[in-house]
Structure 1
Amino acid sequence: MIAQEQIPTVLDHPVYDQEGRKIGDAKHVFVDDVTGRPEWVTVKTGMFGTNESFVPIKDASLVDDHLEVPYPKDRIKGAPHVDIDGGGHLDASEEQRLYEYYGIAWDEAWQRANQPGDGGWAHGTAGTAGAAGAAGLTDRGRGDLGAEDMGTARTGRSVGDDAMTRSEEQMHVGIERVETGHVRLRKYIVTEDVQQTVPVRHEEVRVEREPITEANREQALSGPEIAEAEHEVILHEERPVVETKAVPVERVRLRTDEVTDEETVSGRIRKERIEVEGDETGIARDRDERDAM
């Protein structure tokens, strides 16, 4: 429940939904022109705050430095788009459409708005007090209060003197950190065919014949004169033996590097202009006002 004196605390502060998720920042608070009670808050949503959604402020509450509203983020972002007229007011059809979207009965809202009470939130009338009767809403409407114009509902009415306040919107570009993808390391096994050449040796039989000489005559005559005999030689060879062994070869990790790019953001802002109307001539105008026109 937000009172009018809490509006400066709400503006330009974060707004969270019923599940504790940030929706955006509060841009404007709309109050009833008759009762002065806050009725709606607009929330800047989107990556760069390019959209502005209306949310009922009746059951909202201030928690620390942010505003909590009893609606889910997706419902708020899908609220009907409303174009605010030059005076910063909601007309009857726009407000009725918003009431219906959030499940608030229009007739009940009108009745509560006209019930007598002490003007506080305890009676639960502030959330619908801005209805002020379907017939008179177009004239009285909702006053739009931004951080720069507390004290006047941007209707051109003075607040105690004969000066008129001229306001304009300023564009503030924020930065939102969002997920753009996932990168992971995954280790898997592949099989490759490899070749390696190694030298191997083997034995072969070579027959040697030598004549009988005085040097070997004694060995040649050591056996029987005529007989059968055998002599066996064992042959050897080398064969390659393959053995695999797992050894560590490198360490791999993921790191993120921040790269700064520049993006141009465009938007629309509204400015109020003050003109002097009358039959008299020779009216001096402010230099800045002449340059703007």
Structure 2
Amino acid sequence: MINAHTLNSLIGSDVIGSDGHKIGTVGQVYVDTETGAPSWVSVRTGLFGMSETFVPVDEADQAGAELRVPYTKDFVKDAPRIDADGSLEHSQEDELYAYYGNGSTGAVGTTVGHDQEAAADTTVGYDTSGPTTDDAMTRSEERLRVGTEKVETGRARLRKYVVTENETVTVPVTREEVRIEREPITEANVGDATRGPDISEEEHEVVLTEERPVVAKETVPVERVRLDKATVTEEQTVTEQVRKEEIDYDDGAIRPDRTDRT
């Protein structure tokens, strides 16, 4: 059950929509100044939680570190953008109630900060003059809550295509050429030389051969290629303005004029 005693546990809780998807995280809790009951929470959405949208908690349910609301993420993100600084005006609540369709406005909600350490008490401790305030003033400041979210930055795919290129290979080849050899008549070859008629006409034929390159192609596998992912961790610097309250004091003493006169 969500009540004034569970306010601290709401801050930073994950807000889960009716479809089971995370909408964002609780940034601030707004309570009814008359009853002290939580009425609205601001939900931080978007990259680094920089956007803030209001959601009513009258039908919300707190389950551990999660706040479940009966709305989808898109519906919450489309809610009226209201920049409430410290409290919600009646007109702002009217606009929100009209969007969510969950009743009419009550007392104006007052915010409970991110780093509040004690449960909200609507009878003391608020920084407005009146009978319900105590003798202390609360100083608050904004602090950055930086997180990360995964977003798709691109897609890589493998594609195989065919290219044609020229390849030059040097191949040694041989060929036969005609060469005339002359030898004198000697006692060793005179018999062969005088065999046959003394004078005649003759022809001798020699067959010449040569080698020529022959090209053939075959397809062979050369490598396998696959896609893989590697996680690289790097540091990025995020700069954002934060506000904080400073407290001065005035003791109200009247100081005499110390100017010397002659």
Q: CA deviation at 1:100?
A: 2.3
- Determine which of 180, 190, 203 is the counterpart of 1:217: 190
Q: CA deviation at 1:276?
A: 6.0
Aligned to 1:263: 237
- The answer to whether structure 1 residue 281 and structure 2 residue 253 are counterparts is yes
**Which of the pair is proportionally richer in helix?**
1
d(CA) in 1 for partners of 2:108, 2:151: 41
Aligned to 2:120: 151
Please give the secondary structure, in 1, of the residue aligned with 2:165.
coil
- The answer to whether the Cα contact below 8 Å between 1:45 and 1:52 also exists between their aligned partners in 2 is yes
Aligned to 2:12: 12
d(CA) in 2 for partners of 1:38, 1:262: 36
- The answer to whether the Cα contact below 8 Å between 2:25 and 2:43 also exists between their aligned partners in 1 is yes
- The answer to whether the Cα contact below 8 Å between 1:152 and 1:158 also exists between their aligned partners in 2 is no
Aligned pairs for 1:1-293 (under 5 A) are: 2-85=2-85, 88-102=86-100, 104=101, 109-110=103-104, 131-132=105-106, 140-146=107-113, 147-148=115-116, 150-152=119-121, 154=126, 156=128, 162-179=134-151, 181-182=153-154, 184=156, 186-188=158-160, 189-210=162-183, 212-223=185-196, 230-242=203-215, 243-244=217-218, 246=220, 248=222, 254-256=228-230, 258-271=232-245, 273=247, 281=253
Q: What letter is aligned with 1:19?
A: D
- The answer to whether the Cα contact below 8 Å between 1:169 and 1:270 also exists between their aligned partners in 2 is yes
Q: What letter is aligned with 1:145?
A: V
Deviations 1:160-185 (A, max 9, x none): 88423413123123121323523535
Quick check: 232-241 or 24-33, which moved more? 232-241
- The answer to whether the Cα contact below 8 Å between 1:157 and 1:164 also exists between their aligned partners in 2 is no
Q: What letter is aligned with 2:109?
A: R
State the TM-score, normalizing by the size of structure 2.
Answer: 0.76
Deviations 1:71-101 (A, max 9, x none): 222332332222324xx32112111111223
Q: What letter is aligned with 2:97?
A: Y
- The answer to whether the Cα contact below 8 Å between 2:4 and 2:119 also exists between their aligned partners in 1 is no
Please give the secondary structure, in 1, of the residue aligned with 2:5.
helix
* CA RMSD in angstroms, aligned pairs only: 3.4
Distance 1:231 1:17, change over 3 A: farther
d(CA) in 2 for partners of 1:202, 1:228: 30
Unaligned runs of 5+ in 1: 111-130, 133-139, 283-293
Please give the secondary structure, in 1, of the residue aligned with 2:220.
coil
Give the percent of matched residue pairs that are identical in Structure 1 and Structure 2: 34
Q: CA deviation at 1:152?
A: 3.6
d(CA) in 2 for partners of 1:96, 1:274: 36
- The answer to whether the Cα contact below 8 Å between 2:15 and 2:67 also exists between their aligned partners in 1 is yes
d(CA) in 1 for partners of 2:41, 2:131: 23
- The answer to whether the Cα contact below 8 Å between 2:15 and 2:66 also exists between their aligned partners in 1 is yes
d(CA) in 2 for partners of 1:43, 1:207: 106
d(CA) in 1 for partners of 2:189, 2:237: 104
d(CA) in 1 for partners of 2:159, 2:176: 47
Q: What letter is aligned with 1:14?
A: D
Q: CA deviation at 1:41?
A: 0.8
Unaligned runs of 5+ in 2: 255-262
